Amino acid sequence: MKEKMTSEHSTPSTQRENNVRKSSARARWIAKTGILSAAAIALMYLEFSLPFFPGFLKFDFAEVPALLATFSMGPLTGIVVEFIKNLAHLPASHTAMVGELANFIICSAFVGVAGLIYRYNKTKKGAMISLAAGTAALTISGCLVNYFISIPFYINAMGFSMEAIKGAAHAAGNPFVSNMTTLIFYVFVPFNILKGLVISIIISLIYKKLSPLLHR
């Protein structure tokens, strides 16, 4: 009888402790996601052009905080950071929001695939494999999204022509672009591989150093 009474009296206290822990964990998640999203927004606005790539392609480091969120809190959190980042970039959109939609899909594939693999293999080797797979996902999704969504939108809705796009590639020093297929193969494939590689190297250098802060 005493054991039963003790158990009954301890249950509300245990529930309160669980609720406090859940509330604290939720608050930490919101705070860390907010900080990493703010960093991603700032980095996305600091975009710049690269040599040999047409001016409409911009490079940024916004996937660094998104991947930090993915590796420390899971792939869904990384995708949330990607969503917030692109939502905040809409006021600066020059593509009627299609560019931000494309960026969200492509970069979510990057952080999502990397995060899913790393979630089940949290070793140095697992991190390397996850980043390589994420880069492959970034490249493949970049080809598909640009082939079926972005470039057709620019041509059909925004008044660009394939000749103008080809001219922009030639002006940047890339003479291999002559049609949609070569545009994808000689522009978007190397661009996304380069981006994935650069971001992966940065994450490899900083994640372990920042991990104690990210897991608080």
For residue 55, with 0-12 CB atoms within 10 Å meaning exposed, 13-18 middle and 19 or more buried, which class applies? exposed
Cα–Cα separations (whole angstroms), residue 186 to 70, 105, 140, 180: 30, 21, 13, 10
Residue partners of 59: CB distance under 8 A and separation at least 6: 47, 48, 49, 50, 53, 191, 194, 195
Structure tokens at 151: 């470039």
Amino acid (one-letter) located at 207: Y
Supply the pLDDT for residue 82: 98
Supply the pLDDT for residue 141: 98
Supply the pLDDT for residue 101: 96
* Residues of the chain under the 50 pLDDT cut: 1-9
Supply the pLDDT for residue 66: 97
For residue 215, with 0-12 CB atoms within 10 Å meaning exposed, 13-18 middle and 19 or more buried, which class applies? exposed
Cα 201 from Cα 205, distance rounded (Å): 6
pLDDT tens for residues 137-195? 999 999 999 999 999 999 998 888 999 999 999 999 999 999 999 999 999 999 999 99
Supply the pLDDT for residue 2: 45
All domains of the chain in start order, with CATH? 2-214 (1.10.1760.20)
Supply the pLDDT for residue 5: 44
> How many CB atoms are located within 10 Å of the residue 39 CB?
19
Q: Where are the alpha helices (DSSP H) in the chain?
A: 2-45, 63-73, 75-89, 98-119, 124-145, 151-156, 162-171, 180-183, 189-214
Residue partners of 32: CB distance under 8 A and separation at least 6: 69, 72, 73, 214
Supply the pLDDT for residue 95: 86
